[in-house]
Amino acid sequence: MRPEIFDPRACHTGEGPISLGANNEEVMWVDIIGHKVLSRNLRTDITNEFLTEEDVGFAIPRTSGGFILGTANGPIAIDSMGEREEFPTRRDADKKVDLLPTRWNDAKVSPDGFLFLNTLTYALEPGAAALYRVHPDDLKLERILSGTTISNGMGWNQAGDTFYFIDTPTGGIDAFDYRDGAISKKRTIWRTEDKSQGLPDGMCVDAEDGIWAAFWNGGCLRRIDPHSGYRVTEEIRFPVPHVTSCAFAGDKLQYLIATTAHQGETENKQAGMTFILEPGVLGTPTLQFNF
């Protein structure tokens, strides 16, 4: 399960990997600070990238083609021809402008079709970030959880009745009961023991309900198993310190793609590159937003 370089383009803050296409072979991710959306095809190795006007936290595929891009003051919707479409922003949801400079950070589509997306402030002000939700029927954007600091990784179990969420500075992974787009009954299911473990960042969930969490300043992915009391059943080490997120790809969803970041390191040439590995368990697909 040793990770190998999937794409050597070094991102300042690689994040938000997804896979799409009939065989889940088109892999995309963002470079948040680099204002880029990048891609590489698993089968053909064809690469592509395009620039955004602002920092971009995520690229969520749409069922009609195109993407929802988590630009700092967006999000914005891009159709299959690359044309911009109207989409609600935080100002629509909160009825006011941000009190502090803020950007979108991560996003996922729930099993029942809601788009979940979250924020952080550039100053990382404690308690100033939030979690939002977009309804698939009327595109209403609303805040559903306040008081976070670096709202980050998200995922759902296979039954679709549990929502997992990371607020990075807490060092923990939380679970909520989930039903019809609503979350309730928050509880912490796992927490780091000390600073040497790093801090949890992005995540994905495999077909056996295992939670794969990336660890910032921890240099690894860890699999946390809900069937064994949320203990760590796998730890995959990387040659770089800042592992940011992960997603499954491939025709059987047998590959795990992991993004990383570099913080100006000159001694580690692999920092910021995107990696691939076979974890020995199959994954779950990237869900598209019905818009």
Domain residues for the domain of 86 are 4-190+197-277
**Which pLDDT value is given to residue 282?**
98
**Which pLDDT value is given to residue 99?**
93
Rounded Cα distance between 239 and 167, Å, is 25
In a domain, 130, yes or no: yes
CATH of the domain at 169: 2.120.10.30
In a domain, 53, yes or no: yes
Q: Are the C-beta atoms of 13 and 261 separated by less than 8 Å?
A: yes
In a domain, 283, yes or no: no
Q: Which residues of 144-161 are buried (b: 16+ CB within 10 A; e: fewer)?
A: ebeebbbbbbbbbbeeee
CB atoms near residue 84 (< 10 Å): 12
In a domain, 177, yes or no: yes
In a domain, 291, yes or no: no
Q: How many folded domains does the chain comprise?
A: 1
Token pair recorded at residue 105? 């950070």
Rounded Cα distance between 117 and 43, Å, is 30
> What is the per-residue pLDDT across 197-212, written as a single tens digit (0 to 9) for each?
999 999 999 999 999 9
In a domain, 50, yes or no: yes
Which residue has 């069922």 as its token pair?
63
User: Is the model's pLDDT at 11 over the cut of 90?
Assistant: yes
Q: Residue 33 — very low, low, confident or very high, per pLDDT cuts 50/70/90?
A: very high
User: Is the model's pLDDT at 264 over the cut of 90?
Assistant: no
In a domain, 230, yes or no: yes
Q: Are the C-beta atoms of 68 and 132 separated by less than 8 Å?
A: no
In a domain, 222, yes or no: yes
Strand partners, 191: 172
Assessment of whether the complete model's pTM goes beyond 0.85:
yes
More confident residue, 81 or 210: 210
